[in-house]
Amino acid sequence: MQLVEVTIDSLAEVGYVGTTLAEIARRAGVSPGLVAHYFGDKDALLAAAFRTLARSLAARMRARLALAHTPRARVQAVIDTNLAPEEFDRRSGTAWLAFWGQVLHVEGLKRVQTAYQRRMLSNLRSDLRQMLPAAEARSLAAMIAAMIDGVYLRAALSEWRESDSASARALLTAFVDARLKDLGPLLLPVPPAGGGSRVQRTQLRVINPATGATLAELPVDGAAQVDAAATRAQKAQRAWAALGGAERGRILQRAARLLRERNDELARLETLNTGKPISETRTVDVLSGAECLEYYAGLAAGIAGEHLNLGPAAFGYTRREPLGVVAGIGAWNYPLQIACWKSAPALACGNAMIFKPAELTPLTALKLEEVYREAGLPEGLFQVVQGEAQTGALLTRHPLIRKVSVTGSVGTGKAVMADAAASLKQVTLELGGKSPLIVFEDAKIENAVAGALLANFYSAGEVCSNGTRVFVHRSIRAEFVARLRERTAAMRIGDPLDPATQVGALISEEHMEKVLGFIARGRAQGARLLTGGTRVTSGALAQGFFVAPAIFDHCDDDMDIVRQEIFGPVLSVLEFTQEEEVIARANATEFGLAAGVFTNDLTRAHRVIARLEAGTCWINHYNVTPVELPFGGVKMSGLGRENGRAAIEHYTLLKSVYVAMGDVDAPY
């Protein structure tokens, strides 16, 4: 560590050329042999020093980001960390520049620099995405990164006379504020009280990610449409709530039957819009939606409060009453299923729901609207509005809407919760994950391998609960990995409409690039890619966004592929030896959506599961989600639960009633 500090001093004072092993040794007061013993050569020493600088900057960045509570504050945190007084001074600045000068020539430096840049850009992009459409967010993120580099270079060229940390930060801050102001009309609009629209009504172009072909163009709904939908819903909801539960249940039953009857047609549409193989959508997506409707149809008549005995002269009871108008906002990975998981309990409890599907996958929610209508659901009780985040925000901020349930990324969850606070709406947040799957040495290997495949490659890996961190006991790792690789390499990638296809397309080109970027980082950071991980472009697949399922071995807990949600077909194998150790490592994440354990030791299975910080767990299986079991996350993976009886609590209010049966005695 001391040698690294001395190296940074030396770079600042005598530059790259003057920083030799002999110079470091002289400054540190040790023999050149000792420096060579620890680091080998100058390049390795400089790479170690560069890594130290980048790591401490990344740690400071994480600390600042954790304290920032809005997307704009998080963007500022990136700027402030990079240009903090302790970075933006002659010593650190000159060292950074010395490294940059060598990045193109020294592979070790290049890797550190690329990893740091990618992380910074991805932080910036995801926060700007909360404020701007994707293309603008990407371009502003790149501008901010370029300006940070620019102010460093100018400061260095002026020998740190022209600018200091405060003025550099002020420059960047003014630039970002000005850009955000210029892009003002694109920002999320605050709906003016009493309606009216500041949102331009534009079109959503819906594509087939397997071919790039346009499937549909839909108008985007703005404040006027959301307002009208909320008013319609409020009117319809009163009569709906006044119906008996059994009657509401009958309509849900009919809708479930229609979904089953139309399974093939709906599965085909879902496949066209999501790129998922028809073998999945025909057996999972529509049918799990129908099951959910059937389940809540059955519960509807039994939604009840409780009776409480309060002694001879009184009793109490509670009523479970609907909330009123509620909103559902869906992600793009299970469009129809998500719409069913949200609307079925909401309607069973007597609410009206306005649902916004993800902008990329708006089609099957419209079909569900049709199905409900055909099943006899009165108009206004399930309405679909279309649009991007702006339309979602209009729902979240609408005063008539009492609750919002969103399935999406952590950033979206935070934005929704912050928006919902203004009108104190209830929220259910189904967010992202980076879940662990632990395979103990006594597990049946073939089952565990099957579990790992189910945990990673359904829907081309675009599943929130995926167990992407596969911890395998050292004693069985080799055997497990060999079998996993074999079965993964044999998966059939192809046209999603072909019933034999097992791996379809990713949702969009942008998402595919993100997934491929993670794979490149995995390799750069030293993980070993055993199979897959490349874009598939054979024949007609070249038009779509296909990535071969990837297995990384020799991963460590700090790699980006192990820490961040990829939401693509990328599995990381991690080795462990001790139960205590693996529990700690499995829990060392901000997420807490799901977890799985494979073992034949029953006691251990329950002991370990009890200690895993996750909302949804499996023992000796993975990713099965029967509607009877509540589903949801803890920590940054979300709040509230979907499915099971638990969802009833999230779509009803509890009213307490005290009933006196004697005279009233007042002290006045």
Give me the residues paired with residue 353 across strands: 326, 382
CA 589 to chain centre: 13
527-546 burial, b at 16+ Cβ within 10 Å, e below that, comes to bebbbbbebbeeeebeebbb
Write out the two tokens for 546: 């296909």
Three-class secondary structure of residue 99 per DSSP: helix
Tell me which residues touch ligand NDP (CB under 6 A). 130, 329-333, 356, 358-359, 388-389, 392-393, 396, 406-409, 412, 415-416, 430-433, 464, 565, 567, 593, 633, 638
Residues 647 and 298: beta-carbon distance below 8 Å? no
At its nearest, how many Å lie between ligand NDP and the CB of residue 654? 25
Give Cβ neighbours of residue 232 (< 8 Å, ≥ 6 apart).
379, 380, 383
The CB-of-125 to ligand NDP minimum distance in angstroms stands at: 12
* Closest distance to ligand NDP from the beta carbon of 415 (Å): 4
Residue type, 277: P
Nearer to ligand NDP, 227 or 359 (CB): 359
User: What is the smallest separation between the CB atom of 667 and ligand NDP, expressed in angstroms?
Assistant: 52
Of the two residues 132 and 156, which places its CB atom closer to ligand NDP in the complex? 132
Q: Which is nearer to ligand NDP, 81 or 396 (CB)?
A: 396
Residue nearest to ligand NDP (CB): 392
Active site residue 342: yes
Q: Which CB, 42 or 469, lies closer to ligand NDP?
A: 469
CA dist 104 and 108 (Å) reads 10
CB 363 within 8 A of CB 397: no
Helices (H) and strands (E) in the chain, counts: 25, 18
- Compute CA distances 570 → 173, 247, 551, whole Å: 37, 46, 6
Q: How far is the CB of 378 from ligand NDP (least distance, A)?
A: 26
Contacts of 454 (CB under 8 A, 6+ apart): 621, 622, 623, 624
CB 363 within 8 A of CB 273: yes
Least CB distance to ligand NDP at residue 432 (A) = 3
Choose between 285 and 565: whose C-beta lies nearer to ligand NDP: 565
Q: Which of 136, 291, 462, 642 is catalytic?
A: 642
Active-site position among 87, 291, 340, 342: 342
DSSP alpha helices (H): ranges in 525-569? 560-563
Which one, 209 or 633, has the nearer CB to ligand NDP?
Answer: 633
- Fill in the DSSP letter of residue 401: E
**Closer residue to ligand NDP in complex, CB, 103/215:** 215
Residue 464: active-site member: yes
Task: Spot the catalytic one: 292, 340, 349, 464.
Answer: 464
486 catalytically annotated: no
Using alpha carbons, select from 592, 602, 593 the residue that is nearest to residue 625. Answer: 593
Question: Least distance from C-beta 129 to ligand NDP, angstroms?
Answer: 8
Catalytic residue among 87, 430, 462, 565: 430
Are 251 and 343 in contact by the 8 Å Cβ rule? The answer is no
- Catalytic positions are 342, 430, 464, 642
